[in-house]
Amino acid sequence: MSTDLRFVVRPGGRLQGDIRVPGDKSISHRSIMLGSIAEGITHVDGFLEGEDALATLRAFRAMGVEIEGPDAGRVVIHGVGMHGLQPPDAPLDLGNSGTSMRLLAGLLAGQGFEVTLIGDDSLSRRPMKRVTEPLALMGAEINTTPKGTAPLMIRPVDGLRGIDYVMPVASAQVKSCLLLAGLYAEGETWVTEPAPTRDHTERMLQGFGYEVMIEGPRRGVRGGGKLVACDIDVPADISSAAFFLVGASITEGSDLILRHVGMNPTRDGVINILRQMGADIEVSNERVVGGEPVADLRVRSAPLRGIRIPEDQVPLAIDEFPALFVAAACAEGETVLTGAEELRVKESDRIQVMADGLKALGVQAEPTPDGIVIQGGPIGGGRVDSHGDHRIAMAFAMAGLRASGEIEITDCANVNTSFPGFADLAAATGLNLEVAHV
């Protein structure tokens, strides 16, 4: 990714309007994956046309799946069935997308052809043993670098066998990877999670007519079934909405409506945490679309207070913490996060990178091995390095609403992986943001 894109945010402004942020990235990925191996034609609306989801789409095209679009968020997938994927001519380049790589490792482990998964520099540093080791227990043969990172070379095997796996760390990507491998395994595959994680894979499998067995914290599938095409309407991504929820909460005079936001109970931690801090978030028009709960959100400015973030909310808000750290910086008192070591192996070490950025703006922020302690107070101007992490860049953009000086954020090109059009939408709602090509 190019690193010559910067955000420059000037102080002042407030967020107002009625908007719909782009579609949910997790659901967009899974719609392509499951639609491709289903029988029949799947129609998707609201597909996120960001780099990560497009990497998944290109991968399945490379394996012989006919996919029309995306055209204004509409995609038509001509499914090839469970065993219709073809060996690609070249390695599948998944760019910056950890979701694509980890889920595809599971889906492709039992296909019977050789395939290599590669990614950009950031993805090539992220840990993959968390999926390759349990897949090996199922009989998969996947080679990594000595560090357990990409490229992943997946070799054909005679067949996979079901396992009963207890995850050491709560991770939706690991759970989904193993369930997708389980579709191709003999017998039953069970995954037990130590804490609830997003359940989009389970919901969508059921939407495609595939039985998912649920017993408390355990999720299971039986191999040998089939998926039947269906229609999917992708909700707006709550992870993208989070930046606007925080921005409006921290800025006097803000009043913003966010439409058709995904309200999956495994993903709504950001709303729960902000409300505990005193945020004014109103939920209305609740409904279920394609198995996923959605609602409209109205957020108005409110004085926030520091809290000790409940550990049971951490997995439900794992991607939203960069935005929540900015809320904490604007809150009265101290905010303490624990139990979030997962943040250290995201697109960047989000604990350290956020702490460094907050300190650069004059905020007291002390990282700990599994979290951070932030003292609310004034935010100054300054320069912040996002380390190519889209969520870091967008979080610090919102900090500009409360800053006393200009904030310059470097290395912002990857914002397009999850939120194409962020800068334009943020500016249209009242953020004083300019994009600079350096």
Whether residue 31 contacts residue 44, with contact meaning beta carbons closer than 8 Å, is answered with yes
Residue 32 and residue 139 share a domain:
yes
Residue 138 and residue 257 share a domain:
no
Residue 88 and residue 58 share a domain:
yes
Give the full edge-to-edge strand order of the sheet including 382-385: 382-385, 407-410, 5-9, 433-437
Residue 100 has pLDDT above 60, yes or no: yes
Q: Give the DSSP H/E element, type plus range, for residue 35.
A: helix 25-37
Residue 374 and residue 243 share a domain:
yes
> What are 312's two structure tokens?
């049971």
User: Of 175, 210, 233, which residue is a domain's last?
Assistant: 233
Q: Which of 428, 376, 384 is nearest to 406 (CA)?
A: 384
Residue 312 and residue 206 share a domain:
no
CATH assignment at residue 257: 3.65.10.10
The 10s digit of each residue's pLDDT in 371-390 is 999 999 999 999 999 999 99
Residue 410 and residue 335 share a domain:
yes
The 10s digit of each residue's pLDDT in 26-60 is 999 999 999 999 999 999 999 999 999 999 999 99
Residue 215: Cβ-neighbour burial (10 angstroms; 0-12, 13-18, 19+): exposed
Domain count, the chain: 2
Q: Which of 403, 429, 436 is nearest to 12 (CA)?
A: 403
User: Of 172, 205, 233, which residue is a domain's last?
Assistant: 233
Q: What is the DSSP letter of 251?
A: S
Residue 3 has pLDDT above 80, yes or no: no
φ, ψ at 316 (rounded to 5°): -85, -5
Residue 17 and residue 31 share a domain:
no
Distance from chain centroid for Cα 56: 14
Q: Which of 20, 79, 69, 65 is nearest to 47 (CA)?
A: 69
Residue 145 and residue 242 share a domain:
no
Span 184-210, average pLDDT: 94
Residue 1 has pLDDT above 50, yes or no: no
Q: Whole-angstrom Cα distance, residue 25 to residue 22?
A: 9
Q: Whole-angstrom Cα distance, residue 390 to residue 20?
A: 19
Residue 277 and residue 203 share a domain:
no
Strands 433-437 and 5-9: antiparallel
Span 176-181, average pLDDT: 98
The 10s digit of each residue's pLDDT in 154-177 is 999 999 999 999 999 888 999 999
- For the chain, percent of residues with pLDDT exceeding 90: 90
Q: Whole-angstrom Cα distance, residue 278 to residue 109?
A: 46
Name the residue range of residue 10's domain. Answer: 5-23+235-437
The 10s digit of each residue's pLDDT in 70-96 is 999 999 999 999 999 999 999 999 999
The 10s digit of each residue's pLDDT in 205-218 is 999 999 999 999 99
Q: Which of 158, 160, 153 is nearest to 139 (CA)?
A: 160
Residue 115 has pLDDT above 70, yes or no: yes
Residue 251 and residue 167 share a domain:
no
Residue 276 has pLDDT above 90, yes or no: yes
Q: What are the C-alpha distances in Å from 288 to residues 43, 234, 264, 269?
A: 18, 11, 10, 19
Query: Which residues are tagged catalytic?
Result: 319
What does the pLDDT read at residue 433?
A: 97
The 10s digit of each residue's pLDDT in 294-349 is 999 999 999 999 999 999 999 889 999 999 999 999 999 999 999 988 888 777 79
Place of tokens 């799946």: 65
Amino acid at 181: A
User: Of 233, 259, 288, which residue is a domain's last?
Assistant: 233
Residue 280 and residue 212 share a domain:
no
The 10s digit of each residue's pLDDT in 225-245 is 999 999 999 999 999 999 999
Span 416-429, average pLDDT: 92
Within 8 A by CB and 6+ apart from 133, the residues are none
Q: Whole-angstrom Cα distance, residue 165 to residue 148?
A: 20
What does the pLDDT read at residue 342?
A: 82
Residues in the chain: 438
Sheet strands (E) in 250-328: 255-262, 280-289, 292-300
> What are 290's two structure tokens?
């394609």
Within 8 A by CB and 6+ apart from 181, the residues are 106, 107, 109, 110, 135, 138, 140, 160, 189
Span 405-411, average pLDDT: 97
Residue 50 and residue 13 share a domain:
no
Helix axes 51-62, 25-37, angle to 10 degrees: 10
